[in-house]
Amino acid sequence: MKRHSLLILLILITLLSCGKQKSDNELLPIVKEWYGKEVKFPERPVFTLYGKDTVDYSIPQSTYKVLVYVDSTGCLDCKLQLQKWKELIEYTNSISNGEIPFLFFFHPKDYKELCQLFKRDLFDHPVCIDFNGELNKLNNFPHLSQFHTLLLDKDNKVLTIGNPVLSLDIRSLYIKQISENYDTVNEKEDNNSIGEVTPIKADLGIMKVGEAKKQAFTVKNTGDKPLVIITTSTTCSCASVAFEKKPIMPNETTVVEVTMKPKDVGFFNEIIMLKCNTAYPLKLRIRGRAE
């Protein structure tokens, strides 16, 4: 096995085992089997919008594909994260001129619930409702859900394993791989920029439980390359983040708006991480007290 491939395998095993009950020794044979494996697709998959309206869509020939397979096990809403997928698709389109297809295959236990989630989250991307589980029959996916999301090459061979909307590290692997073929802002070190945030922290004072307050932060690009906010993460589900999804040119700024809606009585001191094409994520801090 080439040294580069071995390094990729070791990285994947480390990321896939983080926070899981499976040990590296248990994951190693699965990763080795699936890395570089060709994924087979049903001959004539039917794609729909919102799980109902059939659309004229076929799997295109492309440099990369992202395959998302969702089976009938576990909490469907927890696994889907449709809003995060919408953000990732939008960002990927911006760096690839919309050339990378995201292929969603669902083998649902509750078809009605699935359609309701599509409608709730306004998820208007073509999806395949695989009632007979044909995709799994062709490929025999592992039972572990972290092996159900794959980045494929032009020959449908697996390049990266893992769910990029559930892990910033996995997401970075996807974007790094994709960016290598496009002359645009990406996560390569030679395209890194520098950013600064003001204010560094904000105090919202006293709030009522369930009350929503907004705080604006200004992100300035102090580097000489375009600055891109790739994704965000928060230490609490009571904080949501909004920003304009386009590159910030050198010496220009953008506003990141954080909405805080505390769910419990007490003090809060939250950190919002902005994953950018910078050496380290940018941090926003917001605190206050709910009563």
- Position of tokens 């907004």? 214
Judge whether 96 and 182 are in contact, CB under 8 Å: yes
Alpha-carbon distance of 105 to 98, in angstroms, equals: 20
Give me the pLDDT at residue 150, please: 93
Q: What is the DSSP string of 243-289?
A: E--SPBPTT-EEEEEEEE---SSEEEEEEEEEEESBSS-EEEEEEEE
Closest to 119 in 3D by CA, of 166, 68, 77? 77
266-276 and 282-290 strand pairing: antiparallel
Domain limits, the chain: 32-186, 195-290
Decide yes or no: CATH 2.60.40.10 for domain 195-290.
yes
| % pLDDT > 90, the chain | 29
Give me the pLDDT at residue 2, please: 43
Alpha-carbon distance of 254 to 216, in angstroms, equals: 10
Give the CA distances from residue 60 to residues 101, 132, 161, in Å, rounded to whole numbers and listed in that order: 7, 23, 21
Give me the pLDDT at residue 89, please: 87
CATH code for the domain defined by 32-186 = 3.40.30.10
**Mean pLDDT of all residues in 44-62:** 87
